Amino acid sequence: MIIVLKAGVTEKEIQAVITEIEKQDYKTHVMHGVERTVIGAIGDERTHRNLESLITWEQVEQVMRVQKRYKLVSREAQPKSSVVPVREVPIGGKKIQIMAGPCSVESESQLMETAHAVKEAGATILRGGAFKPRTSPYEFQGLGEEGLKLLAKARDETGLPIVTELLSQDHAEMIAEYADILQIGTRNAHNFQLLIAAAKTGKPVLIKRGLSMKIEEWLLAGEYILSNRNPNLMFCERGIRTFETYTRNTIDLAAVAAVKSESHCPVVVDPSQGVGRSDLVIAVSKAAIAIGADALLIEVHPNPAEAWSDGAQQVDLNGFKKLMDEIRPFIAAAGRE
């Protein structure tokens, strides 16, 4: 860490800071400038006490980190981009994967019709919610384990791996038994014990960005997965909450580029949640591919007008075919497959 002292400090005040730093088992490197003195504290913050509390000292002007707080997800830890294997489907690398399916699993007929249709159109992973986090307790909460069983049946019929959301630590082992990817939704992106439970299942984990989550906080959420010895981590941009009401959320595509720059982990974009309007999903999908997304997460329903949840943002089966046709030139132009 770097500790910047205020102008005009005395040698006694400088020495007091040095003594405190060295008391915490850091080595010090002192740089005397024309107006200010800067002290470098060299040591591993994981095994030494954090020095940020020095900002409370009268003679200290600023305390700055040299290394990033997210150590394992960073490109400093691993310069080469990671590829997450999901059964036979690699997420990351040259090929862009399409995760598609209904917001909620409603019935066997609804799920099977959707699963076969999205596979035929080119999807490589099936998404579907068995447990649904709803704002109102009176809205449809999902079919629970019965929904998981239907997803597993759809995988058996189509060969598509499945991604579904984990809401509770109590459900971690049960959902891991059925799912190929555990999704941590936006409301739980700060639920660190849930992140640890997901990591310990050993299954690939997809972390959606929280409603008001800074990029650093999002990356640190991912750090919980890697620090618990699960290397299979993906980030998902699904829009953040702003003052805008035209769209459901404000999709932050700059965050995709930022995370791709900062982290070696694959980045997924969810245009459906990002805009909340089916008429904008294709355009945002094209933009996501152009800026470097490794996969798209698309909500698809046979009849969105009759959907039990989030019908306005789900494309119908013909709309999904149209989406797949229209994004192919963008995939090629981005040098992807």
Residue that has been written with the tokens 């999901």 in this structure: 86
Structure tokens at 120: 């035929």
Classify 146 in phi/psi space as left (phi over 0), alpha (psi -120 to 50) or beta: alpha
User: Rounded to 5 degrees, what angle do the CA atoms 227, 232, 237 make?
Assistant: 95
Give alpha helix (H) positions in the chain: 11-23, 108-121, 145-158, 172-178, 192-200, 215-227, 253-262, 271-275, 281-291, 317-333
Q: What is the pLDDT of residues 165-206, one digit of tens each?
A: 999 999 999 999 999 999 999 999 999 999 999 999 999 999
Residues in the chain: 337
Q: What is the pLDDT of residue 36?
A: 85
Q: Please report the pLDDT score of residue 46 as a whole number.
A: 64
Q: Give the CA radius of gyration of the chain.
A: 23
Classify residue 24 as left (phi > 0), alpha (psi -120 to 50) or beta.
Answer: alpha
State the pLDDT at residue 47. Answer: 65
Query: What digits encode the pLDDT tens for the residues 81-132?
Result: 999 999 999 999 999 999 999 999 999 999 999 999 999 999 999 999 999 8
> Domains plus CATH for the chain?
2-64 (3.30.70.1140), 84-333 (3.20.20.70)
Residue with tokens 């060299």: 42
195: its two tokens: 């992140």
Query: Is the CA virtual torsion 197, 181, 282, 308 positive or negative?
Result: negative
What's the pLDDT at 158? 98
**pLDDT of the residue at 83:** 96
pLDDT for 100 equals 98
Distance between CA atoms of residues 76 and 66, nearest Å: 12
Please say whether the beta carbons of 326 and 283 come within 8 A.
no
Phi, psi for 233 (deg, rounded to 5): -120, 135
Q: How many CA atoms lie within 13 A of 13 on its CB side?
A: 17
227's torsion region: left (phi>0), alpha (psi -120 to 50) or beta?
Answer: alpha
pLDDT score recorded for residue 270: 98
Alpha carbon distance 128, 115 (integer Å) = 10
Distance, CA of 337 to CA of 113 (rounded, Å): 26
Other beta carbons within 10 angstroms of residue 25's beta carbon come to 11
- Exposure string over 30-39, b if 16+ CB within 10 A, otherwise e: eeeeeeebbb
In this prediction the pTM is: 0.86
Smallest Cα–Cα separation from 112: which of 148, 152, 154?
A: 154
212/182 Cα distance (integer angstroms): 22
Residue among 292, 260, 229, 268 nearest 80 (CA): 260
What span, in angstroms and rounded, lies between the C-alpha atoms of 158 and 102? 15
Q: Is 169:193 a contact under the CB 8 Å cutoff?
A: yes
Q: What is the 3-state secondary structure of 132-152?
A: CCCCCCCCCCCCCHHHHHHHH
End-to-end CA distance of the chain: 43
List, for the chain, all residue ranges whose pLDDT scores fall below the cut of 50: none
